[in-house]
Amino acid sequence: MQITADRESLADATNPLGLDGIEFIEFVTAKPQALGQVLEMMGFRPVARHRSREVLLYRQGEMNVIINAHSGGLPRSVQPSDTPVISAIALRVRDAATAYRHALDRGAWAVPTNVEVMELNIPAVHGVGASRIYFVDRYKDFSIYDVDFTLIPTVDPKPPALTGMHWFGVVQYIGNDRMEDWTEFYAELFGFKTLPDDKRYGILPKGRVLQSPCGSFYLQLIEPEPGIVEVEGEESLQRIGFGTPDVLASVAALRQRGVGFVESQGVHSETRGALTQSYLGGAMFELVHHAR
Amino acid sequence: MKHDQVDIRDFGMDTISLAGTLPAKLQAIRDAGFTQVMLMARDLMGHAEGPEDAVRVVKASGLRVTGFQVLRDFEGLSGHLHDYKIDIAKAMLEMCHSVGAKVLLICSSTSTHASSDPDVLARDLRKLAMLALPLGIRIAYEGLSWGRTINEFTTAWDIVCRADAPNLGIGIDSFHAFATKTSLEDLDMLDPQKIFLVQLADFMWNEIPSVEERINTARHFRVFPGEGVHSEQVAELVMRLDRLGYRGDYSFEVFNDDYQGIPLPIVAERARRSAVWLSEDVLHRSLPLPGRMRLKRAES
């Protein structure tokens, strides 16, 4: 029997948006070159610049990182400061318009768009703090960067990933008593699932881990240390996690490039994971043992 | 004004009980010894120097904001009416956030345009809770005694349970519970963690059977707990909630035309008397609550 989409809806109920990984992660900073140097140490290469704004695209393997030094002037957007801030996660979805509508229908806040002539209008909703969550559906045959960016000449537009590094996920700091709230937020709007407490990755097993409905990346929610009564305005996307099939090989390769790692009694590099030093007043990266 | 040392931290006044400007109201509330205040949208929008200055005035007062009121006739609408109310809700949430309020009060709908289907009402409240979530705001849903479909805390609780969002809970207003004569025994079925706000008021008449009388009394003739003829019920309600494990705020939701016409310190002092009565005589708060005691960690 032939089953076709025009006869019955076959959308996967556990992945209502057709989520398919992370398209890019964006940082906002007033010092894009300084962050660029840190990203290059981490194995990224600058591959393209935005046509109209002070925005750069860095890449390694499947991972795209955007450095945004453009002050958009929108309310509730992150204003560039010297310390880099993770300002957006772009999710790959089956259909961006449908995903956007799905999120708005369930109570997401739309981010007003501010596009220039001939630029793509990428829909976004507000995430934690002043961050945004974008929906991108052009990532197979052609990409969003083909439209809004120009390639930097003589640079390999597809630099390979260092030691097989890939997106693992993002760590989000949350306020006191906010675990259930944020778990519900990601479940309701995007279909994330809570992992059982005994399923943990990396060397920083605090908080709660949420798995994307496509199963390809994770969000880790971390509450303040017990006893800290009030952390007003401290909810944010704190760091990126990279998956790697061999943590110690990645640590060695990154060390050679000048990356320092936290080596203390509590946290140190091991086969499960590692944590880089903090750069530029707050940018740090985590390595997690995770094979593709 | 100097006050004897009675712990009235759990009780707060509503700005709606007082006449005058926002700074004058906040001053009177603070001078009476209160540490928290329930604000309404008009406090910000009616402030002569504008809403941004109102936020500054509230923060400078040192008073904690109990909550922000009130979103009306929100749930159960469809099409353009729903979209319109979403816009209103978003504006209220942003105001609520700006003053540092952690609770937005929503009253059950009175609209004849609204659906009566509990699942539709729950769906809309869940959406409101999601809108409030990134801002760190909790939604307290209150059954207005003249609500069209939901007019008691019992049915409001049913909708809250159906909606099942972590930041959606119930708001209880003693006035509405007494007006509908809802059995206070039904409070025992509530989860105290999901009671996000309790508003207290008394009134002078024994019975208010008709909807018109309820609206009229609610909006013009409420008095502070202990000042009306329902003091015993107020005390019972507070004691039941306390026994249940409720440790949140109590706010005095007292709309009263007379109080709008007399000096603010006199009204605030009446509110203080009420708070002292509830704290000392009803809840015996001079004794430390078990949950409030901070035990020293044993030396290892």
- CATH code where residue B149 lies: 3.20.20.150
Q: A168 and A261 share a domain?
A: yes
Question: Residue B290 domain-assigned?
Answer: no
Q: A105 and A34 share a domain?
A: yes
C-beta atoms of A235 and B136 within 8 A: yes
Q: A186 and A116 share a domain?
A: no
Q: A63 and A174 share a domain?
A: no
Q: A207 and A283 share a domain?
A: yes
Q: A278 and A223 share a domain?
A: yes
Query: Structure tokens of B233?
Result: 């019920």
- Could you give the CA distance from residue B227 to residue B273 in angstroms, rounded to a whole number? 10
C-beta atoms of A182 and B90 within 8 A: no
Question: Residue A259 domain-assigned?
Answer: yes
Of the three residues A132, A151, A170, the one that is the final residue of a domain is A151
Using alpha carbons, list the distances in angstroms from residue A31 to A35, A50, A56.
Answer: 7, 16, 12
Which candidate from B90, B126, B166 shows the least CB-CB separation from A180? B166
pLDDT value at B103 more than 70 = yes
- Which range of residues forms the domain containing residue A248? 162-289
Question: Residue B288 domain-assigned?
Answer: no
Q: A109 and A139 share a domain?
A: yes
Q: A177 and A228 share a domain?
A: yes
Q: A229 and A178 share a domain?
A: yes
Q: How many CB atoms lie within 10 A of CB A276?
A: 23
Using alpha carbons, list the distances in angstroms from residue B225 to A70, A249, B29.
Answer: 56, 70, 16
Cβ-contact B257, B221 below 8 angstroms: yes
Q: A146 and A167 share a domain?
A: no
A106 close to B (CB below 8 A): yes
- Could you give the CA distance from residue B239 to residue B187 in angstroms, rounded to a whole number? 11
- Give me the count of residues in chain A: 292
Question: Residue B291 domain-assigned?
Answer: no
Q: Least CA distance to B133: which residue of chain A?
A: A181
Which candidate from B90, B127, B130 shows the least CB-CB separation from A185? B130
- Which range of residues forms the domain containing residue B208? 11-283
C-beta atoms of A109 and B90 within 8 A: yes
Q: Which residues of B touch A104 (CB under 8 A)?
A: none
- The total number of structural domains in chain A stands at 2
Q: Which residues of A touch B165 (CB under 8 A)?
A: 184, 188
Q: State the pLDDT at residue A74.
A: 55
C-beta atoms of A107 and B167 within 8 A: no
Question: Residue A4 domain-assigned?
Answer: no
Q: State the pLDDT at residue A2.
A: 47
Three-state DSSP state, B252: strand
A76 close to B (CB below 8 A): no
Q: Which residues of B touch A188 (CB under 8 A)?
A: 126, 130, 165
Which candidate from A108, A182, A184 shows the least CB-CB separation from B165? A184
Question: Residue A64 domain-assigned?
Answer: yes
Q: At A200, is the pLDDT very low, low, confident or very high (cuts 50, 70, 90)?
A: confident
Tens digits of per-residue pLDDT, A228-271? 666 555 899 999 999 999 999 999 999 999 999 999 988 999 99
Question: Residue A222 domain-assigned?
Answer: yes
- Could you give the CA distance from residue B62 to residue B23 in angstroms, rounded to a whole number? 12
Q: Which residues of A touch B126 (CB under 8 A)?
A: 106-107, 188
pLDDT value at A111 more than 50 = yes
- Report chain B residues touching chain A, CB-CB < 8 A: 90, 126-131, 133-134, 136, 165-167
Q: What is the mean pLDDT of residues B258-272?
A: 97
- Give me the count of residues in chain B: 300
- Could you give the CA distance from residue B203 to residue B258 in angstroms, rounded to a whole number? 13
- Give me the amino acid identity at B40: M
- Could you give the CA distance from residue A59 to residue A41 in angstroms, rounded to a whole number? 12
- The total number of structural domains in chain B stands at 1
Which candidate from B130, B166, B167 shows the least CB-CB separation from A106? B130
Q: A40 and A96 share a domain?
A: yes
Q: A32 and A98 share a domain?
A: yes
Q: State the pLDDT at residue A3.
A: 46
Of the three residues A151, A182, A207, the one that is the final residue of a domain is A151
Q: Least CA distance to B89: which residue of chain A?
A: A107
Q: In what order do the strands lie in the sheet with A285-289?
A: A193-194, A208-211, A218-222, A166-173, A236-244, A285-289, A273-275
Cβ within 8 Å of B, A 50-69: none
Question: Residue B297 domain-assigned?
Answer: no
Query: Structure tokens of B239?
Result: 């004691």
Cβ-contact A136, A91 below 8 angstroms: yes
Query: Mind telling me how many Å the CA of B251 is from chain A's nearest CA?
Result: 23
Is B81 exposed, middle or buried (CB count within 10 Å of its CB: 0-12, 13-18, 19+)? middle
Tens digits of per-residue pLDDT, B233-264? 999 999 999 999 999 999 999 999 999 999 99
DSSP category for residue B279: I
Question: Residue B189 domain-assigned?
Answer: yes
Q: Which of B240, B268, B241 is nearest to B254 (CA)?
A: B268
Q: Which of B220, B177, B225, B178 is nearest to B200 (CA)?
A: B225
Question: Residue A7 domain-assigned?
Answer: no
Question: Residue B289 domain-assigned?
Answer: no
C-beta atoms of B127 and A106 within 8 A: yes
Tens digits of per-residue pLDDT, B168-226? 999 999 999 999 999 999 999 999 999 999 999 999 888 888 888 889 888 899 999 99
Q: Which residues of A touch B90 (CB under 8 A)?
A: 109
Question: Residue B185 domain-assigned?
Answer: yes
Instruction: State the average pLDDT for chain B.
Output: 93
Query: Cα dihedral sign for B149, B153, B158, B162?
Result: positive
The CATH number that applies at residue A43 is 3.10.180.10
How much is the pTM? 0.92
Q: State the pLDDT at residue B299.
A: 39
Cβ-contact B6, B34 below 8 angstroms: no
Question: Residue A177 domain-assigned?
Answer: yes
C-beta atoms of A127 and B134 within 8 A: yes
Question: Residue A249 domain-assigned?
Answer: yes
Query: Cα dihedral sign for A95, A101, A107, A112?
Result: positive
Of the three residues A127, A151, A175, the one that is the final residue of a domain is A151
Question: Residue A206 domain-assigned?
Answer: yes
Q: State the pLDDT at residue B298.
A: 41
